[in-house]
Structure 1
Amino acid sequence: MPKQYFYRFILTISLTLFSNILSAQNKIVVFQSDFGVKDGAVSAMKGVAMGVDSSLKLFDLTHEIPAYNIWEAAYRLEQTVQYWPAGTVFVSVVDPGVGTDRKSVVLKTKAGHFIVTPDNGTLTLIAASEGIAAIREIDEAVNRRKGSEKSYTFHGRDVYAYTAARLAAGVISFEQVGKLLPDEVVSIPYQKATAENKKVKGTIAILDIQYGNIWTNIPADIFKQLDAKVGDDLHVVIYQHKIKKYEGNMPYASTFGAVAKGKPLLYLNSLLQVSFALNMDNFSAVHKVYSGSEWTVEVSKR
């Protein structure tokens, strides 16, 4: 190999390795949990992180996940992670199985984000949307807050915040998190968005909780296969565990004000996914429709 090509090869490899190291060292940690902020749990996690490196930049995704709701934790990650720079480390603690044999892991996405969490279904959606670059099981013999070995019920503080801070600060590399695992995660079954027989189907991924709007996982590119135009009337059926909970017709609208107060509409939300609302009212509360993997929808043209 000519010298100039050899040196170019070495430089390329070196830059790639350096880039990989830096991607885990942007010093940003984002926290998510079902803890709420009524006590000191969130502050304790942040205190552990600051104890690793006081120059870390700590942010909150949310701490208002309903207790034990792993599906919503999965959704909030998918909703948010894509907007943060590569190298950001997320800590997601919705962990009803804390202290059991469920794995504590760090997933690196193909986009270069890191998710520190129990592998209990929390990674269902982000693994599908961003892809898995690698997953490592946290070695708690190394990556655990000193003196916490006898604590079994607060891994968010003792393992996840500590490991995330060390990774974000560059104290450890991703390889030092622990052993490499197969590229698969515990997944919650759900209806993926599909289009067939002049009908689109999907899951009610989440509620726009402040207003009670219904957000599905049906993206615009699948919805467009209905060939629906703004103003068209669409037929909507909603099921829970395959039991019909709602059926009705509503126009496809671009704004809430396109229909009268209290009337239903179908629109594309800020993530460009099919959603349902009552103008200036609460669709969820009025029709007793909620979110989760057991809630499915079908939309067709009238």
Structure 2
Amino acid sequence: MITLLSDFGLQDAYVAVMRGVIASIAPGKPTCDLTHQIPPQDILAARFNLMMAYPHFPEGTVHLAVVDPGVGSNRRAIALQYPNGFLVGPDNGLLGDLFAAHLAPSITAVSLTNAQYWRVNRPSHTFHGRDIFAPAAAHLANGVPITALGDRIDLDTLVQPNLPPFRLVNSQSTAQRSRQYAGSLQYIDRFGNLISNIPGQAVSGQSWQVELKTAHRRIDFTGVKTYADVPIGSLCAVIGGHGWLEIACNCGSAAKALEGMAEVGTLLSLTFCD
């Protein structure tokens, strides 16, 4: 199977062109659209949607992701092989941190430098999705070894997303309730949920709260299990189905309620309550 994700939308034929290239090289391989409604050039939105989706696909799936504002520049075109499948896309932060550090030994990364597996020897300067990425995905789906597509590269050279990372602040503490974590908002979904990069596992069954920090204000949100645990229209913090902590509004939009105060990159802290 080959999945496709892009910021191309559906008004134009760009997605169909990539599908046509894939079908020409790998006829009969099933395809699935993750989404083509990523906001234009929004690498972080593409990263989150890919990160949320790829673990749920069958072994051997090839995930093609094209959100590529640097197309035609010196940014690398890359492919990664992990134990259950492949990722193909630009090296611009979209793919750089999708795997935990302990998985690094099981991942192979290459730069797509072998023109034998491009659509044409001289690819367009503005449409690598058609000329480099889609062909690479199709060849991988056909069983071509990833190392045939180009030179190996080190994982630690991949471009990382432009996002304040999740981290343990007071690492000297051994008591769970005394620990404090810092993170940031990584994505806002269509419901207006403000999704952080703080993993739900960090909560570990404790009572907790999240503090949102802006230049002029700090707001606390008590952690609950479901949206319905607070009155309709009220804000709360929950662990979303994607596994990350999010700030939400029961039957409403947290993004609208906090307009001007919260955006991707806004800092958060997680603390535990006695």
Give the TM-score of the pair, scaled to structure 1: 0.79
Q: Secondary structure at the match of 2:203?
A: helix
CA distance in structure 2 between the aligned counterparts of 1:72 and 1:130, rounded to whole angstroms: 25
Q: Secondary structure at the match of 2:98?
A: helix
How far residue 76 of structure 1 moved from its aligned partner, in angstroms, is 1.6
CA distance in structure 2 between the aligned counterparts of 1:235 and 1:71, rounded to whole angstroms: 22
Paired AA for residue 152 in structure 2: L
Residue by residue over 1:136-194, the C-alpha shift from the partner in whole angstroms, topping out at 9 and shown as x without a partner, is: 11124211113x62521100011100111011012x22121111112321112422143
How far residue 221 of structure 1 moved from its aligned partner, in angstroms, is 2.4
CA distance in structure 2 between the aligned counterparts of 1:290 and 1:113, rounded to whole angstroms: 35
User: Does residue 42 of structure 1 match 2:23?
Assistant: no
Gaps of 5+ in 2: 171-177
User: Does residue 267 of structure 1 match 2:238?
Assistant: yes
**1:54: which partner in 2?**
27
Match of residue 103, structure 2, among 131, 135, 155:
131
Contact 1:78 1:126 in 2 (8 A): yes
User: Does residue 211 of structure 1 match 2:191?
Assistant: yes
Q: 1:237-276 counterparts in 2 under 5 A?
A: 237-239=212-214, 243-244=215-216, 246-276=217-247
CA distance in structure 2 between the aligned counterparts of 1:236 and 1:223, rounded to whole angstroms: 14
The change in CA–CA distance for 1:127 and 1:56 in structure 2 (over 3 A counts) is same
CA distance in structure 1 between the aligned counterparts of 2:62 and 2:19, rounded to whole angstroms: 13
The change in CA–CA distance for 1:156 and 1:235 in structure 2 (over 3 A counts) is closer
Higher Cα radius of gyration = 1
Paired AA for residue 174 in structure 1: I
**2:152: which partner in 1?**
180
Residue by residue over 1:190-222, the C-alpha shift from the partner in whole angstroms, topping out at 9 and shown as x without a partner, is: 221436354332121212x22111111212221
CA distance in structure 1 between the aligned counterparts of 2:186 and 2:130, rounded to whole angstroms: 28
Q: 1:90-109 counterparts in 2 under 5 A?
A: 90-109=63-82
Percent identical residues: 26
The change in CA–CA distance for 1:92 and 1:210 in structure 2 (over 3 A counts) is same
The change in CA–CA distance for 1:174 and 1:140 in structure 2 (over 3 A counts) is closer
**2:249: which partner in 1?**
278
User: Does residue 228 of structure 1 match 2:228?
Assistant: no
Q: Secondary structure at the match of 1:68?
A: coil
How far residue 72 of structure 1 moved from its aligned partner, in angstroms, is 1.6
CA distance in structure 1 between the aligned counterparts of 2:136 and 2:153, rounded to whole angstroms: 17
CA distance in structure 2 between the aligned counterparts of 1:291 and 1:130, rounded to whole angstroms: 30
Give the TM-score of the pair, scaled to structure 2: 0.87
How far residue 60 of structure 1 moved from its aligned partner, in angstroms, is 0.9
More off after superposition, 282-291 vs 259-268: 282-291
**1:159: which partner in 2?**
132
Paired AA for residue 236 in structure 1: E
| Coordinate RMSD, CA, aligned | 2.2
